[in-house]
């Protein structure tokens, strides 16, 4: 069955790239509403922005959504991952600024608050997107691929010259709370040289070592070091789940990313929906429903992060 929050939850913090403070409230919504954002600070005709793959616009380092009136919201990937990973299908996200608060650089704060207030089942079946044919997109040595599977699987590989990151690969079956237990606390990461370059160009103005893992050569600059030895690849998987959640429903398929980022994952969704016969919408019965991300998850799972 579809699910929403039992009650509204509020957050506040700085945007990672803009450095601007924002207050955000995630509200329950009716069945079949989906996920929408509302800019409460704007006076444009339409302040509602759908969380959908076809309203993504090109942006550096994050996922940015825009509606026909020009209302935008950026860095949506972590909140979208939290919603998908908790199995929340319907919500209205009100925000008084252009960028989602970065919090600690992961989805853990969102997940903790969602599970703390609890979820309400709605007596409408979940409709999922079943992948029927393999679809692949490439840009240089970066690859993103979707292929058939009975449930959502994510397989990701990264390669960085820095020894502290290096080659990392991980595969997860995302059913039954795997996101909460294994991915949700993994933080965004960057190299110190990248931070310096971004700030020189007016980006990453809200970024600190408290909301991102910063690497400098072979060293981890952020206090406390890594939460996981392979935290960077886990965070890339978190990002992928958030970007795939813009498909308009849970995906039943295997996603493989090799050095892929936000733009390539969105390009993959465009390729999937553009190919007739490559996918179909299915109604999830009890057996399939149990395979969806977030089904059966509890707040106690946060203490079991791998």
- Catalytic residue positions, numbered: 262
- Specify whether the CB–CB gap between 148 and 161 falls below 8 A: no
- Specify whether the CB–CB gap between 194 and 60 falls below 8 A: no
Rounded to whole angstroms, the Cα distance separating 67 from 181 reads: 34
Contacts of 48 (CB under 8 A, 6+ apart): 36, 37, 38, 67, 71
Rounded to whole angstroms, the Cα distance separating 16 from 4 reads: 27
Could you count the other beta carbons within 10 Å of the beta carbon of residue 2?
23
Rounded to whole angstroms, the Cα distance separating 124 from 4 reads: 11
Show the tokens assigned to 305.
Answer: 């992060």
Rounded to whole angstroms, the Cα distance separating 98 from 77 reads: 14
Q: What angle do CA 217, 191, 81 make, to 5 degrees?
A: 135
Q: How far is CA 106 from the centre of its chain?
A: 9
Burial profile 270-286: b = 16 or more Cβ within 10 angstroms, e = fewer: ebbbeeeebbeeeebee
Please give, one letter per residue, the 3-state secondary structure of 118-154. Answer: CEEEECCCCEEEEECCCEEEEECCEEEEEECCCCCEE
Q: What angle do CA 208, 214, 217 make, to 5 degrees?
A: 145
Q: How far is CA 212 from the centre of its chain?
A: 16
């Amino acid at each position: 069955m579809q699910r929403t929050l039992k009650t509204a939850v509020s957050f506040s913090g700085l945007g990672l790239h803009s450095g601007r403070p924002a207050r955000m409230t995630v509200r329950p919504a009716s069945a079949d509403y989906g996920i929408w954002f509302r800019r409460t600070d704007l006076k444009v005709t339409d302040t509602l922005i759908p969380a959908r793959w076809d309203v993504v616009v090109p942006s550096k380092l994050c996922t940015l959504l825009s509606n026909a009136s020009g209302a935008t919201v950026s860095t949506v990937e972590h909140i979208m991952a939290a919603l998908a990973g908790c199995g929340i299908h319907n919500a209205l996200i009100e925000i008084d600024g252009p960028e989602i608060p970065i919090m600690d650089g992961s989805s853990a704060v969102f997940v903790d608050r969602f599970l703390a207030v609890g979820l309400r089942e709605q007596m409408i079946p979940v409709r999922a997107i079943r992948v029927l044919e393999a679809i692949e997109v490439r840009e240089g040595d970066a690859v993103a691929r979707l292929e058939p599977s009975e449930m959502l699987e994510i397989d990701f590989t990264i390669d960085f010259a820095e020894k502290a990151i290096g080659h990392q690969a991980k595969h997860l079956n995302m059913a039954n709370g795997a996101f909460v237990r294994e991915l949700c606390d993994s933080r965004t990461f960057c190299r110190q040289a990248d931070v310096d370059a971004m700030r020189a160009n007016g980006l990453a103005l809200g970024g600190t070592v408290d909301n991102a893992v910063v690497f400098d050569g072979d060293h981890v600059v952020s206090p406390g070091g890594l939460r996981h030895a392979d935290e960077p690849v886990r965070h890339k998987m978190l990002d992928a789940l958030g970007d795939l959640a813009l498909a308009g429903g849970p995906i039943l398929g295997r996603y493989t990313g090799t050095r892929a980022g936000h733009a390539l994952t969105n390009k993959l969704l465009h390729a999937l929906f553009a190919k007739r016969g490559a996918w179909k919408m299915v109604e999830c019965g009890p057996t399939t429903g149990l395979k969806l991300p977030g089904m059966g998850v509890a707040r106690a799972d946060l203490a079991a992060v791998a």
